Structure 1
Amino acid sequence: MATPHLSLIIPVYNRPNEVEELLDSLTRQSETNFEVVIVEDGSKETCQHVAEAFKDRLDVSYCYIPNGGPGNARNYGAKQSKGDYLIVLDSDCILPPDYIKSVNKELEETGADAFGGPDKASDSFTDVQKAINYSMTSFFTTGGIRGGKKKMDKFYPRSFNMGIRKSTYEALKGFSAMRFGEDIDFSIRLFKNGYKVCLFPSAWVYHKRRTDWRKFFRQVYNSGIARINLYKKYPDSLKLVHLLPAVFTLGVFFFLVGSLFCTWSLLPLGLFSLLIFVDSSIQNKSLKIGFLSIIASFIQLIGYGCGFLDAAWNRLVLKKEEFSAFQKTFYK
């Protein structure tokens, strides 16, 4: 297979500093068969000056469109692209020097129509970011479905690190106009239409995510909403692993209520916290990050669980439509 030309599509909303870090990492790639398409999605704080500053080092183009959400921005960027494959990235990602090389190698070996890669925490991340990364990638909190070696469900590429053959993307007519979960919707359509979808373990990215607990809660809350929206479109997409955060959330509530009558009711929560603390402390070689990972894990599971339960009530019980059930906002 000849080395394909790659188009990196990056939607951005009010985050010029993140884009600067991402573009800087792209200047250090060991292979350079790629272009960069930045789509500014109605930002007030634009990154046009950042893109201009990198034009002597990267094949980068910049577009500004009215705010319509990341799925719409990716679709717009795809129309401007020239590559054989599209790689969709979040603006809060940083790429290691051999990312493009790894993608090319994996494509040569697999001939995949679409792919995704895992995410990791950089040594430069704050302790809170490392704790959030743990909670979003650990088998004990997500079941390994985001690219872990152990997993409770098959791997679905996600938009922080997703690649698609351009002809495949066009055949599926790009990302849908879903309120949340448009990337998983796209992955489900890939599988349902028989395309070859692969996990590229070596094509990983550093993913910064949110830097405070409130924003992180909102992010995972929206992910819980997305799961019910996806269930409405694809009933067979709901798996046991997706129910666990809601069960955990209800369990925390009942254990806390039970502790008013018997303190032993807190034992399961204590054992779970100890498990997270030990596992994260070993992985991150830091007791502090181990402790912060307990907080991040509870926020991740309860946030997702609350969003899931909220959406289940609004969409399944009250029968509300997707866009009328929740406040219209695209970015967290």
Structure 2
Amino acid sequence: MLNPVNDVLLSVIVPVYNAAAYLERCIESLIQQDESRFEVIFINDGSTDHSLSLLQNYAHYPHFHIIDKVNGGVSSARNHGIRASRGKFLCFLDADDFLPSTAFSTWLCLMQQNVCMAVGQSQHFTPQGQALDFPVASDHARPMAVSAAINELLYFNPRHGICDKVFRGDVIRQHHLRFNEDIYNFEDLLFVMNYLWLQQHRQVVFSDKVVYHYVKSAHSATRSSLKEKHFSFARSFSSMKAFLSAQHHRCYYHLYLKVTSSYIYKALNSEGFSRDFIDEYIALYRQSFKSYLSSGLMINAWSLYFTFFFLSPRLVSRLRKWVRK
């Protein structure tokens, strides 16, 4: 049984939307944590399955708080959780994922006074709970200046999500930092870059410990049918650039081109996208490619691909589709 919450060190924000199939596994992983000074804020985001009733079965746990709201999307749910949080530190958990029992104690150990954010390892699982990979975990932790950490997250050790990280709650609350609810892709990376821009006097720690169990699902947003709203990633990157300096531009544009070319390829091989819509993003890609050249392109296979895609995105996409077949 969990102990009553007297001193909340860590707030955990869990958006819940039609997650009944996996929710109990997620909740049990929270109950089994070896650190008790935490609170969990579950935001039921208008679920139409029995997710809410499952949450209510655990309402007697003193660490757990349940917010029931109309559906507004994952960013809306996370923002509700931020507003309700009390912890010195803050992290995020998706309801279809789960945690190793040492996740919270690892976070609290890493978040020393001069550290603004810690980043851990993720292990991937099937929906049935079978491990798909086995990261080599160790006690090794690399402290890094924020400026270097940004390039690490963008390119050298790409970590674009939100759930393998822990943040300082006071920084988020003081600056009213929130997720953009009108952006559906890379809004989490935008949140991270905004946060780091506010904390350039501190350090980021990269840990080799596994802090998150990510469940790979065929129904995830990245694998579901492509829609125009998914191209809001461009707004994420446009906003993100305001938080970066010239030393980050090469890594930033490398990621931007990788993402943009991927979405153009998907759109060219999907139904429901007009030629004008696709051409708009091809023009954006070509403009970004020129900026990438100006920032100093990286000598790697991706840069060669970017060049060919710049010359003829439709031809490259046809060839790529042919190779995949």
Q: Same fold (TM over 0.5)?
A: yes
Q: Which among 208, 217, 223 is matched to residue 210 of structure 1? A: 217
- Following superposition, the deviation at residue 95 of structure 1 comes to 0.4
- Alignment of 1:45 with 2:58, yes or no, is no
- Per-residue CA deviations over 1:52-91 (Å, capped at 9, x if unaligned) read 3224455111111122221121111122222111111111
Q: Which among 149, 171, 174 is matched to residue 171 of structure 1? A: 174
Question: Structure 1 CA distance, aligned partners of 2:8 and 2:75?
Answer: 24
Query: Between Structure 1 and Structure 2, which shows a larger proportion of helix residues?
Result: 1
Q: Which among 229, 239, 258 is matched to residue 235 of structure 2? A: 229
Aligned twin of 2:11: 7
Question: Structure 2 CA distance, aligned partners of 1:216 and 1:310?
Answer: 23
2:97 maps to a residue whose letter is C
Map 1:270-289 → 2, pairs under 5 A:
none
Question: Structure 2 CA distance, aligned partners of 1:150 and 1:87?
Answer: 17
Question: Structure 2 CA distance, aligned partners of 1:48 and 1:114?
Answer: 32
Question: Structure 1 CA distance, aligned partners of 2:276 and 2:29?
Answer: 39
Map 1:57-96 → 2, pairs under 5 A:
57=61, 59-96=63-100
Aligned twin of 1:182: 187
Aligned twin of 2:155: 152
Q: Is the 8 A contact 1:27 1:58 kept in 2?
A: no
Aligned twin of 2:132: 130
2:91 maps to a residue whose letter is I
Q: 1:121 to 1:311 in 2, by over 3 A?
A: farther
Question: Structure 2 CA distance, aligned partners of 1:119 and 1:107?
Answer: 18
Question: Structure 1 CA distance, aligned partners of 2:267 and 2:111?
Answer: 33
Counterpart secondary structure, 2:236: helix
TM-score by length of 1: 0.61
- Following superposition, the deviation at residue 247 of structure 1 comes to 5.3
| Runs of 5+ unmatched residues, structure 2 | 1-6, 136-149, 242-248, 285-325
Q: Which among 221, 235, 240 is matched to residue 254 of structure 2? A: 240
TM-score by length of 2: 0.62
Q: Is the 8 A contact 2:122 2:213 kept in 1?
A: yes
- Following superposition, the deviation at residue 94 of structure 1 comes to 0.8
Q: Is the 8 A contact 1:115 1:157 kept in 2?
A: no
- Following superposition, the deviation at residue 313 of structure 1 comes to 4.1
Question: Structure 2 CA distance, aligned partners of 1:306 and 1:192?
Answer: 37
Q: 1:19 to 1:192 in 2, by over 3 A?
A: same
- Per-residue CA deviations over 1:21-53 (Å, capped at 9, x if unaligned) read 111111111111111110011222242322232
- Per-residue CA deviations over 1:236-262 (Å, capped at 9, x if unaligned) read 473314423665788xxxxxxxxxxxx
Question: How many residues matched?
Answer: 247
Question: Structure 1 CA distance, aligned partners of 2:183 and 2:74?
Answer: 10
- Per-residue CA deviations over 1:181-232 (Å, capped at 9, x if unaligned) read 22111111122223444434325211113135x8652388889735422232
| RMSD, matched Cα | 4.0
- Per-residue CA deviations over 1:123-147 (Å, capped at 9, x if unaligned) read 88467x839x99xxxxxxxxxxxx9
Q: Which among 199, 208, 225 is matched to residue 206 of structure 2? A: 199
Aligned twin of 1:276: none
Segment of structure 1 superposing worse, 114-123 or 15-24: 114-123
Q: 1:126 to 1:107 in 2, by over 3 A?
A: closer
Q: Is the 8 A contact 2:44 2:66 kept in 1?
A: yes
Q: Is the 8 A contact 1:117 1:157 kept in 2?
A: no
Q: 1:29 to 1:179 in 2, by over 3 A?
A: same
Question: Structure 2 CA distance, aligned partners of 1:246 and 1:82?
Answer: 38
Q: 1:247 to 1:204 in 2, by over 3 A?
A: same
